[in-house]
Structure 1
Amino acid sequence: MLYAIGDIHGYSDQLDRALDLIRADGGADAPHVFLGDLVDRGPDSRGVIERLMSGQAAGRDWTVLFGNHDRMFLRFVTQGAEHDPAIKSGKGWLHPALGGPATLASYGITADDETSDRGRLLAEVREGVPQSHMDWITTLPRWHRTAGHLFVHAGIRPGLPIEDQAEDDLIWIRDSWLDDTRDHGEMVVHGHTALDYPQHEGNRINLDGGAGYGRPLVPAVFDGTDWHLLTDQGRELLRPLA
Structure 2
Amino acid sequence: MAESGIHFLDAQGPDGVRLYAIGDVHGRFDLLAAMHGQIEAEIARDRVRDWRIIHLGDYVDRGPDSKGVIDFLIEARERDPRNLMLAGNHDIGFLDFLKTPDPEGLFIRFGGIQTAQSYGVAMNNGSGIWFGKADSALRRGHQALLEAMPQGHVDFLRSLPFSMSFGDFFFCHAGIRPGVALEKQNPQDLIWIRDAFHDHSGLFPKIVVHGHTPVPEAEVMANRVNVDTLAWQSGMLTALVVDEADKRILEMAIKEA
Per the TM superposition, whether the score is higher than 0.5 is: yes
Pair 1:190–1:231, CA change in 2 (3 A): closer
**Aligned amino acid, residue 7 of structure 1:** D
Query: Between Structure 1 and Structure 2, whose CA radius of gyration is higher?
Result: 2
- Identity within the alignment, %: 37
User: How far apart in 1 are the matches of 2:57 and 2:246?
Assistant: 23
Structure 1, unaligned runs of 5 or more: 85-91, 233-242
Pair 1:152–1:137, CA change in 2 (3 A): same
User: How far apart in 2 are the matches of 1:152 and 1:47?
Assistant: 23
Match among 48, 59, 71 for residue 80 of structure 2: 59
Q: Does 2:179 correspond to 1:159?
A: yes
* C-alpha deviation, 1:144, in angstroms: 0.5
Match among 212, 229, 233 for residue 232 of structure 2: 212
| Aligned residue in 2 for 1:197 | 217
Match among 180, 204, 220 for residue 184 of structure 1: 204
Q: Does 2:22 correspond to 1:22?
A: no
**Aligned amino acid, residue 108 of structure 2:** L
RMSD: 1.9
Match among 77, 83, 100 for residue 112 of structure 2: 100
Structure 2, unaligned runs of 5 or more: 1-17, 253-257
CA contact (8 A) 2:236 2:251 kept: no
User: How far apart in 2 are the matches of 1:79 and 1:68?
Assistant: 16
CA contact (8 A) 1:22 1:219 kept: no
CA contact (8 A) 1:149 1:186 kept: yes
| Aligned residue in 2 for 1:70 | 91
TM-score if structure 1 supplies the norm length?
Answer: 0.87
* C-alpha deviation, 1:180, in angstroms: 0.5
CA contact (8 A) 1:158 1:177 kept: yes
Residues 65-104 of structure 1 deviation map (CA, whole Å, 9 limit, x = unaligned): 00001011111112223445xxxxxxx4223xx1100100
User: How far apart in 1 are the matches of 2:182 and 2:36?
Assistant: 29
TM-score if structure 2 supplies the norm length?
Answer: 0.82
Structure of higher RCO (CA pairs closer than 8 Å, 6+ residues apart): 2
User: How far apart in 1 are the matches of 2:103 and 2:211?
Assistant: 23
* C-alpha deviation, 1:114, in angstroms: 4.0
Moved more, 214-223 or 69-78: 214-223
CA contact (8 A) 1:22 1:230 kept: no
* C-alpha deviation, 1:120, in angstroms: 1.4
**Aligned amino acid, residue 216 of structure 1:** M
User: How far apart in 2 are the matches of 1:226 and 1:139?
Assistant: 31
User: How far apart in 2 are the matches of 1:179 and 1:17?
Assistant: 33
**Aligned amino acid, residue 208 of structure 1:** D
Moved more, 168-177 or 208-217: 208-217
* C-alpha deviation, 1:215, in angstroms: 3.0
Q: Does 2:139 correspond to 1:122?
A: no
CA contact (8 A) 1:72 1:82 kept: no
Moved more, 194-203 or 220-229: 220-229
User: How far apart in 1 are the matches of 2:188 and 2:102?
Assistant: 16
User: How far apart in 2 are the matches of 1:61 and 1:79?
Assistant: 33
User: How far apart in 2 are the matches of 1:129 and 1:39?
Assistant: 13
